[in-house]
Structure 1
């Protein structure tokens, strides 16, 4: 059984000052209460913690051992409490953010650095993953908030979806694309469902959900039997497969802006406009955010909605 924490706190101050009187003043309790608490702790541990000399307390070996155990915890506790109280006055402490992999890698380090210039007491952890990874971590409290790809979540069912607050922030153009060499050899200008569904594909995940949603949007059909020649776990790996002429894949057009303009990567277009993926801010609906979280979210929104970034993710194929 662990000893009573209040008695450990009394012991800590008695050991620190080697005085019952000073400890009682620090703790704002009577000297009698300090002595009683110390005596009870010794009975509880069945050891003497101090040798009582005339107006002096000398720690025993057991007392030295206990102080070495207790003192780091109390010092850390005091520092932590100060941090918690400080966070109510100015942004400070840890913010835990979830993000799509490529977006998080390319965007968040810059925004974190800019935020820390204004609020240097804030530190970050970032979790990268798809919505199936991010949503549960927000629900469990492991993440304070996250950004998710709404397009890739279509047809997915998340438990208790209504507990989340979902606010669209970014419109990201999503395209089907292949290398110029693959296009000239296999597509040859034929963008029909029959032709496209018979070709090779690079899939971002085992379910092929992103590919299926692209076909559903453009042709109102799910292509069930796609020939997936490569399944990968990152957007960049899909792009690499495309560049190496392995087939077609669904990607965010802004990531390959230069390659599209140079004609190295060819978007597969239909009569419909390109898919717009909504990257949305997700938080727990009933959670009361801290000052630090609210300040960071407002900072993030201001940056995303600024003229610098507002069109960055859109209309690459028509530039």
Structure 2
């Protein structure tokens, strides 16, 4: 049984005849009659008694109208609400972002967006790019902001069903506090010295640190002393400020701390390889007006402010 047949029944019930119902629904009278007959066949009951001047509902017809009428009305209200959200930019957004980038920058971007569209409920998911892409595939996110540092494999995995647009380019740098630098490095930027440091990392595999060493020296230390493992880059920044070790991070994330003298970059040969912070969306998804509005604010922030505050 389709909702269309119930909708036609409800319209005929309210109009009292097929001619007015056909005009209201913009279909032919035979189409109305055919759908009513099929509905009666499916239910095994008569819904109307036919007269030359119109239709009189049977007791079963009155009962069906009482039961399904409010449900169809509520369904129309819900559908209208969705359409209203598309047009007026009022509703809910589900957005993914990396832990550190999301923690540091997304509140600032949301603040700007909220000033323009105060009636929007925003759900932020701060997690790894891999988890964000999985959420995109399930339809749980409207769009995501992802890191593609060392991301050739990541690109290959999602390029068939997502497209990405670069928002910010940054260097991946090794950083620590000035005190930790003086006590443990003191100008010795050799591979052996740096490999012997205490490290702060976002994952047990320390892939970001290994990638940094390979970029700088063309080789990876056989082992690393992992002093702190935390899945949030902001927590690692705070650990580094407290002189607990060195960590690999995006240059934009620590820009303010470097300017204030709380952290310094360790640059044996260069600032490091590039990390791209990208906007990722499903290829076949048509962005709503609400999504477009947020993306406009996001891009404006990325171009004018990101990493410059």
Say whether the fold is shared (TM-score over 0.5).
yes
111-120 or 205-214, which deviates more: 111-120
Cα drift, residue 273 of structure 1: 3.0
Match of 2:7 in 1: 9
Q: What is the TM-score when the length of structure 1 is the normalising length?
A: 0.74
Match of 2:198 in 1: 200
Relative to structure 1, the CA distance from residue 38 to residue 292 in structure 2 (aligned partners, 3 Å threshold; closer, same or farther) is same
Match of 1:215 in 2: 213
The partner residue of 1:280 within 272, 278, 281 is 278
**Matched position secondary structure for 1:246:** coil
Q: Root-mean-square deviation (CA), in Å?
A: 3.9
**Matched position secondary structure for 2:157:** coil
Match of 2:16 in 1: 19
Q: Distance in 1 between matches of 2:164 and 2:271?
A: 24
The partner residue of 2:41 within 40, 43, 55 is 43
The partner residue of 2:302 within 298, 301, 304 is 304
Match of 1:271 in 2: 269
Cα drift, residue 210 of structure 1: 0.8
Cα drift, residue 279 of structure 1: 1.7
186-195 or 253-262, which deviates more: 253-262
Match of 1:103 in 2: 101
Q: Is the 8 A contact 1:49 1:63 kept in 2?
A: no
292-301 or 50-59, which deviates more: 50-59
Relative to structure 1, the CA distance from residue 13 to residue 55 in structure 2 (aligned partners, 3 Å threshold; closer, same or farther) is closer
Q: Is the 8 A contact 1:50 1:60 kept in 2?
A: no
Cα drift, residue 8 of structure 1: 0.9
Cα drift, residue 282 of structure 1: 3.4
How many residues were matched structurally?
304
Cα drift, residue 249 of structure 1: 1.4
Q: Distance in 1 between matches of 2:238 and 2:298?
A: 30
Relative to structure 1, the CA distance from residue 204 to residue 63 in structure 2 (aligned partners, 3 Å threshold; closer, same or farther) is same
Structure 1: unaligned runs, 5 residues or longer: 314-319
**Matched position secondary structure for 1:305:** helix
**Matched position secondary structure for 1:151:** coil
Match of 1:317 in 2: none
1:245-275 superposed Cα distances (whole Å, 9 cap, x missing partner): 4322123444445544454434323232355
1:89-125 superposed Cα distances (whole Å, 9 cap, x missing partner): x767665543222222333344345446556787654
